[in-house]
Amino acid sequence: MRAFYFDNIPGDQRLLHDSGNPVSDEILKSAGVLHWHIPTSQQYQIDAVAEKRNYKNRDTITITKQSLGDLYEAKLKNFYEEHMHEDEEIRYILEGSGFFDVREHPTDSWIRCHLNAGDLLVLPAGIYHRFTLDENNMIKAMRLFKDEPKWTPINRDSSTDANPYRVDYLKSIAVN
């Protein structure tokens, strides 16, 4: 995985949008973002991560024009809306590639994380983020869950900063 600040230049969301300013692992960790590279030939290691982090369920999602058909454009637009979840978002990339953008606090800058096959990303509950494919237009990912599989986005608006999961997230990343 490679992380960098998003360049904020208008245009296709699937382009790299690399500002030329890399983001270190320390900055990602300070935002609560965790990541590992586990080669897809060693997927059994995912079981160890799942056990350690108490992930009980998983499924697989494939995002392509072929797999989503007429819903493709609407789904991509929905995934790219800035949102948060009340659960961790865990993705292990099996094939293809894409971008997860996360908001840095307190600057509100976008950090773009480019994921490829073998990358495992954990976003904490309460972090603002969005997802899009890259120019390859294909990703197959394993989604891991602590409880029953669910994906409930809470789009950012004037009320989301008061959401208890957002408040807890901000407390968890506060510098003491």
| Numbered residues of the known binding site | 83, 85, 89, 129
| Annotated binding-site ranges for Ni(2+) | 83, 85, 89, 129
| CB 110 within 8 Å of CB 103 | yes
By C-alpha distance, which of 106, 135, 112, 119 is closest to 45?
A: 119
| Annotated binding-site ranges for Fe(2+) | 83, 85, 89, 129
Instruction: Report the relative pairing of strands 18-22 and 2-6 from DSSP bridges.
Output: antiparallel
Residue 21 φ/ψ, nearest 5 degrees: -105, 105
| CB 110 within 8 Å of CB 8 | yes
